[in-house]
Structure 1
């Protein structure tokens, strides 16, 4: 039976009946009591029908393949759904559906009751008519960054007379999950970052051109590619004309998040959530202004010692990937040394135009950033104090903006 693991369970009444049948049958044969023999035959038929009914009903219970993922911010509502299809032609009279809402972060509350959903087990009566599709809903409210999933789905189906039951444990691929994005905590200073551009903007001098933005034409010169010839303009001018495209620059930000704590008693910093919320705002700001960005986090990942990396991208889809990445981080994650992460940051073939540092900042970061600033890189770190949030030039301790 695809997607389910089953275990058959029997009641005491069933066991008594099964063990009584041989005695009842032998007594009927030796005494020539047709009534006793009829009872024995009836009980055999009853047990056979009950077994057939359970096998038939349970073999026709399915859950569609795929995943359902709901994405919300704190304070928003989402409905987790559990779809169950029953293709049998006889009804299921009695059963019980139960599942476990895995929410170790306390990311959501049950919307109807406003109570914690952590380690919550939900149960529903399972009684369905033939050829039925049913959806079980669980509405939750986002409280804080994190994820919650429906797990440990179990279904118990009883026979008609409740002599026995089949316990079904779901082992298929369907998953229902809600992702609560980090709270967006804004701060001033991103708009004042000293760089040549924000996004893909026309510029007078650039190595890049936007072939979708034609600025004009000029006389053809030897070496111009033929795909740049404007044939209509050439026909009017009676000589070859080459298209002139707008010069653009493509802005790129590297978001570096150091979450490693200096204390041996814990893995991550005590302002872990604040750093991720500030990084989330930066991702949102970059996407809004068409700025490509990447993310580095010094969280240990399989196969690498440099930490977690989201490559460059831009637009709404890339923003959603970034927010989901930040939502899935845990304060209990194992970290890697910040020097390993910074080594990966500055070993990339792409030259970063702007680096923004979040989280812990110390002598190692100051030393490394001072060296990189000498190569012309623009580097800032976001400093959180009791007075507010500062966007500060890294590698020089020079404030670039006021507290927010």
Structure 2
């Protein structure tokens, strides 16, 4: 669990050899006080070397239950709880390497490439639990992780130290959601599909959602009469129900440009994040497909249209972990697979580069197809865009 490395241990061994030599010279010179002092120093060094070989045994880091979710610019605290074994640790230096998605707001820290190095002093008694708190602030989207944990335990007389490096998997992480960039998009609710979303223009009603009563009209069925209202007023009243429709959106995010990543990679992610948050705010079902290759079927990032807090969270988490180094596949293959899956969505919104192969497959998708243009992030209906091009 912990790898041990001793720095400048040879100096302590040299001091031990000098103490042993002093004992021999004192013995031959009949200097028993100096010999006693040398023996005490020798015993102390032996015990200290034994301690350095055993310290860290039984020391563990208690795992976190779940990852915290943050927005960019949000402050929080990162907690690491150490559970010590039978050997106390005194005046050690705790050094953490964190991914640069966050930056500490207190303590000594520095940036080393794509990592942030933070350190503090820590001491642990036998079998003691100690929690170290790191105040942090999120600065960019992604999955912030603890990359490395090291404990530097000083040697006797300050000659070097023993380094304990944690080599087990650390589950401590924080998900930082992407920023949003407004997209001008407005779609009319369909009137010919029944669903769960309220719509005053729909032809369908949800009989489990009463909206009130109105005066009886010729042709109203007996099942719709409100007999309680009739008993109170003596006039026939008809139940009125909420009108509902099906509203499903699907985002197609193309993060590549030819055989490379799109130079507006972050902008595309911010636009997709805006559509997700707006759909959640309006209680609309929304899905996401990204042309980033994965191991499992359908071999790219995909979540079907759903709604709710948990689903919106999954979508934002998917956008959070996208990396410029991800392996992509051609966007038209993603669209073709969605057509084979017979994906049902009222609005399909394409974000990113549009090539000729993708255009031909988009026209086969069910529902209205929208393209996010580069000018002001406006969603233009694909059919209208085709007419303008022609």
Taking structure 2 as the reference length, what is the TM-score of the superposition? 0.76
Query: CA 1:89/1:368 → structure 2, altered by over 3 Å: closer, same or farther?
Result: closer
Counterpart position of 1:6? 4
Counterpart position of 1:229? none
1:96 corresponds, among 84, 93, 98, to 93
Q: Give how far 1:64 is off.
A: 0.8
C-alpha distance in 2, partners of 1:180/1:316? 16
Asked if the contact 1:53–1:159 (Cα under 8 Å) also holds between the matched residues in 2, the reply is: no
Counterpart position of 2:267? 274
Query: CA 1:295/1:340 → structure 2, altered by over 3 Å: closer, same or farther?
Result: same
SS at match of 1:397: helix
Asked if the contact 1:370–1:396 (Cα under 8 Å) also holds between the matched residues in 2, the reply is: no
Counterpart position of 2:216? none
SS at match of 1:157: strand
1:200 corresponds, among 197, 200, 206, to 197
1:47 corresponds, among 40, 45, 49, to 45
C-alpha distance in 1, partners of 2:387/2:282? 24
Cα RMSD (Å): 3.8
Residues 33-85 of structure 1 show CA distances to partners (whole Å, capped at 9, x for unaligned) of: 75576455424421332134445642353321236633222332233333334
SS at match of 2:317: helix
Residues 68-77 or 322-331, more deviating: 68-77
Residues 389-398 or 285-294, more deviating: 389-398
SS at match of 1:94: strand
Query: CA 1:306/1:344 → structure 2, altered by over 3 Å: closer, same or farther?
Result: farther
Residues 331-384 of structure 1 show CA distances to partners (whole Å, capped at 9, x for unaligned) of: 232221112111121121542332111111232232222233xxx522212212
SS at match of 1:335: coil
Q: Give how far 1:257 is off.
A: 0.6
Counterpart position of 2:235? none
Query: CA 1:339/1:398 → structure 2, altered by over 3 Å: closer, same or farther?
Result: closer
C-alpha distance in 2, partners of 1:175/1:336? 30
2:178 corresponds, among 179, 182, 185, to 182
1:389 corresponds, among 365, 368, 377, to 377
Asked if the contact 1:95–1:125 (Cα under 8 Å) also holds between the matched residues in 2, the reply is: yes
Tell me, yes or no, if structure 1 residue 126 matches structure 2 residue 114: no
The unaligned stretches of length 5 or more in structure 1 are 221-244
- The alignment covers a number of residue pairs equal to 357
SS at match of 2:348: strand
Residues 165-214 of structure 1 show CA distances to partners (whole Å, capped at 9, x for unaligned) of: 43111123334333332211223323x345337853386548xx78x658
Counterpart position of 2:64? 66
The unaligned stretches of length 5 or more in structure 2 are 214-220, 224-240
Where in structure 2 are the equivalents of 1:4-403 lying within 5 Å? 4-20=2-18, 23=21, 38-39=36-37, 41-54=39-52, 57-66=55-64, 69-86=67-84, 90=88, 92-103=89-100, 107-111=101-105, 118-128=114-124, 131=128, 133-142=130-139, 144-159=140-155, 161-162=157-158, 165-190=161-186, 192-196=187-191, 199-201=196-198, 204-205=203-204, 213=209, 249-262=245-258, 264=259, 267-303=260-296, 306-372=299-365, 376-385=366-375, 388-397=376-385
Asked if the contact 1:78–1:140 (Cα under 8 Å) also holds between the matched residues in 2, the reply is: yes
Asked if the contact 1:154–1:168 (Cα under 8 Å) also holds between the matched residues in 2, the reply is: yes
SS at match of 1:368: helix
C-alpha distance in 1, partners of 2:341/2:243? 25
C-alpha distance in 2, partners of 1:123/1:286? 42
SS at match of 2:261: coil
Query: CA 1:399/1:145 → structure 2, altered by over 3 Å: closer, same or farther?
Result: farther
Taking structure 1 as the reference length, what is the TM-score of the superposition? 0.73
C-alpha distance in 2, partners of 1:122/1:174? 17
C-alpha distance in 2, partners of 1:37/1:219? 113
C-alpha distance in 2, partners of 1:95/1:116? 22
Q: Give how far 1:295 is off.
A: 0.8
